[in-house]
Structure 1
Amino acid sequence: MGSGQRRVVVVGAGSGIGAATAAHFHRNGDHVLAIDLRPNDTPAAQHELCDLRDTSAIAALLTRIGPGWDLLAYVAGVPGTAPATDVLKVNYLGMRLLAEGMLPLLREGGAIVTVASVAALGWTERIPALAGLLDTTDPDEVQRWQAGQDPAYPVYSTSKQAAIIFAKRLAPAAWQKYGIRVNTVSPGPTETPILADFETSMGKDVLDTVKATVGRHAAVEDIVPVIDFLGSPQARWINGQDIHVDGGFVAPMLAGPPIQL
């Protein structure tokens, strides 16, 4: 990926972080392919529609768009208020199938950046529990797997944990075979149209606590530059990482209470 115009695929470009990501690259003069479930007026050079729950629709999309891309930014996501299998199919399986399918379509030196979430916290302890999900690319099997899970465990968290684990497992092979880096960005709560769904599924009190602790929720403008950086040649030695973009909310949960200043 030299300087000059990049060719960027943004999935989930219709609203929220995805729309802001597409508009950002378009403003920079890059050739942007904006993909979403519904028609939208996000600024981009090309638009495509795709239902990410439908594996044949993903396969057809990959055939249509052809090779020569620099970056896949997978920003599509549905909140935990959606049906559980849709959450898994869009946030994890669709991402996986598009990422694997894009590898031969990306130029050497290209990158894949997936938007995960700080809701994936604890993914390291969940690797054995998610083995069955990570072993399949069949949507029916994903549905069967979810049917066997504890319904009290938030499926949104499961979907984002699986996304991070998959990205970390894909990264070494993608680098060695294709010269492509794979990383994830995990935002904290962000002011987007689906924030209200997160208040419903996670509890408004939880999100208010986050807001009180770090001062505000993220804006899309806080997240987009990190996606851009990870997709750029400046991040050429960053691979297989999950970058928290949360104002520092998660750090004390992992490292212990903050130092009092």
Structure 2
Amino acid sequence: MNKERRKIVVVGAGSGIGAAAAAHFHDQGDHVLAVDVREHDTLATERARCDLRDATSIRALLDRIGPGWDMLAHVAGVPGTAPPADVLTVNYLGMRLMAEGMLPLLRQGGSIVAVASTAALGWDQRTGLLTGLLELTDAHAVAKWQAAQDPDYPVYSTSKQAVILYGKRLAGPAWTKYGVRVNTVSPGPVETPILTDFEQTMGKDVLDMCRATVGRHATVDDIVPVIDFLGSPAARWITGQDIQVDAGFINSMVAGAPVQL
């Protein structure tokens, strides 16, 4: 059976999971617009540049690409080694503006899949605090909000917690008004060029413990099929969910003593 050719926007397609996702969809025969802040040669149908720190840049991209898309795969993000305001602006606000701008450009039955992180563990315990962040829609206000937070709490975790909570709060209205599903994917550590940045901010010992627990770090090929599935018609009844893709590491922390076999 021939698979219907889809039109997919992949944001953050210059490297890592985003580049792998764009190439994966392209290899399947989909029409892929690969978007990144830098020039890149990712395998895709067409390419574009966009700076997620700049709402004007996001708007210009959306105005240029027009409607008729089937999926937004929003993979872009910066690690905690970046300036705190940039971490929140790119990882949360840029994703939000891109998602909201894409909604009217997506066909009914379309989907948005945003990449979060298992570093967002505990997001459900911070919904009161995060609600204040989710009320903000411009980079200056987001930076001001972050400046008032506990400097010892990892801003990367905050940014990905906001992605998950925002995705869940967007899912209902997106489904009702546009017929579009919204889900997030939370990988554990992945072998990508920014893994060393995570070792700096989260601690190499923590990442080594994670690897020892589950046997290895993930590869992009472990993550991309989940993004594909959530964006596909096979997941047509799934929305508002965060799917952890970490070989069960978070489960081992929160589920209590394992069953003995």
TM-score over 0.5 (shorter chain): yes
Question: Which residue of 1 is the match for residue 25 of structure 2?
Answer: 25
Runs of 4+ in 1 over 3 A off after TM superposition: none
Over the aligned positions, Cα root-mean-square deviation in angstroms equals 0.9
SS of the equivalent of 1:19 reads helix
Give secondary structure in 2 for the equivalent of 1:9: strand
1:152 aligns with 2:176: no
Distance 2:130 2:183 in 1: 19
Provide the rounded CA distance (Å) in 2 between the counterparts of 1:229 and 1:207.
Answer: 27
Residues 157-183 of structure 1, C-alpha deviations (whole Å, 9 max, x = no match): 000000000000000100011000000
Give the Cα–Cα distance (whole angstroms) in 2 for the partners of residues 232 and 250 of structure 1: 26
Secondary structure of the 1:128 match is helix
Letter in 1 for 2:170: L
Confirm whether residue 127 of structure 1 aligns to residue 127 of structure 2.
yes
**Aligned-residue offset at 1:219:** 0.4
The aligned counterpart of 1:241 is: 241
* Cα deviation digits, residues 26-66 of structure 1 (max 9, x gap): 00010000000101110001100011000111011110110
Aligned residue in 2 for 1:183: 183
Alignment of 1:145-224 (within 5 A): 145-224=145-224
**More divergent stretch after superposition (139-148 vs 247-256):** 247-256
Following TM superposition, by how much is the alpha carbon of 1:130 offset from its aligned partner in structure 2, in angstroms? 1.3
For residue 3 of structure 1, report the CA deviation from its aligned partner: 4.2
Q: Matched residues in 2 for 1:206 and 1:178: separation?
A: 41
1:173-203 deviations in Å (ceiling 9; x for gaps): 0001100000000000000000000000000
Partner of 1:107: 107
**Matched residue type, 1:174:** A
Any idea what the Cα deviations from partners look like across 1:40-93, whole Å, max 9, x if unmatched?
110001100011000111011110110000000000010000000110011100
What's the counterpart of residue 136 of structure 1?
136
Q: How many Å apart are 1:139 and its aligned residue?
A: 0.8
- Partners of 2:259 and 2:79 in 1: CA distance: 34
Q: Which residue of 1 aligns with 2:63?
A: 63
Per the alignment, in what secondary structure is the counterpart of residue 43 of structure 2?
Answer: coil
Q: Distance in 2 between matches of 1:78 and 1:15?
A: 12
Aligned counterparts of 1:149 and 1:258: Cα–Cα separation in 2: 36
Secondary structure of 2:128's match? coil
CA distance in structure 2 between the aligned counterparts of 1:147 and 1:97, rounded to whole angstroms = 21
SS in 2 for 1:70: strand
Q: CA deviation at 1:145?
A: 0.2
1:9 alignment partner in structure 2: 9
User: How far, CA to CA, are the matches of 1:173 and 1:127 in structure 2?
Assistant: 19
Local SS of the residue matching 1:130: helix
Distance between the aligned counterparts of 1:91 and 1:130, measured in 2?
Answer: 14
**Number of residue pairs matched by the alignment:** 260
Match for residue 52 of structure 1?
52
Counterpart CA distance in 2 for 1:19 and 1:89 is: 21
Shift of 1:254: 2.0
**Tell me, which stretches of 5 or more residues in structure 2 are unaligned?**
none
Q: In structure 2, the residue corresponding to 1:35 is in which secondary structure?
A: strand
Percent identity reads 71
Q: Which residue number corresponds to residue 42 of structure 1? A: 42
Aligned residue identity for 2:97 = L
Give 3-state SS (helix, strand or coil) of 1:223's partner.
Answer: helix
- Look up the equivalent residue of 1:164 and give its one-letter code: I
The amino acid that maps onto 1:143 is A
